[in-house]
Amino acid sequence: MNNKNKGMFLETIINQTINYYWNENIAYIEKKSVPIEINNIKRKSSHTFVGSFSLRKSTVDYIGMYKGQFICFEAKSTNENKLEYQNFRPHQLSYLRLISNNGGIAFVIVYFALYNEFYKLSIQFLDQHFAYAKNIKYEEIKKNSRPMILEFPGYLNIFN
């Protein structure tokens, strides 16, 4: 699975999950979009070219509410046997930390394509490991994080 497809697979699973939670009235979660401004549109023959730029940094991929509590999480995929620190932007980790420190639910969902496995990582776990290493090995994540099972009909149990 190439880099684009592994990310799309995880996004598809998460979108199915949030739709299931919405339909079952379990939680409200939405995918955040990056705020952009279009600054240039050019038309050449049958093609249209659009230029744009980001208005500000986005925070995390998903936000919402679960049982009266704010929830936010980031989704990351890897084809390797480790999760790289460089896959995160500093403002993403800061946002997760801020929400967690203020009583919200904040975590990262990681999909390891090599093993076809999903894990839920707390911001505290990430902070502990990224304080002294540039990556976290699969074995360490498997040992110290919660596995997430892909349930029928294709959703992750985020809240167990």
Strands 117-122 and 146-148: antiparallel
- The total number of residues shown for the chain amounts to 160
| Residue 11 marked in a binding site | no
| Residue 17 marked in a binding site | no
Q: Position 40: which residue type?
A: N
| Residue 127 marked in a binding site | no
In the block, tokens 């379990």 appear at 26
Q: Position 49: which residue type?
A: F
| Residue 92 marked in a binding site | yes
CA-based max dimension of the chain: 57
d(CA 26, CA 18): 9
Task: Give me the DSSP letters along 69-120.
Answer: EEEEEEEEEESSSEEEGGGS-HHHHHHHHHHHHTT-EEEEEEEETTTTEEEE
* Binding-site residues for Mg(2+): 59, 61, 74, 92
* Binding-site residues: 59, 61, 74, 92
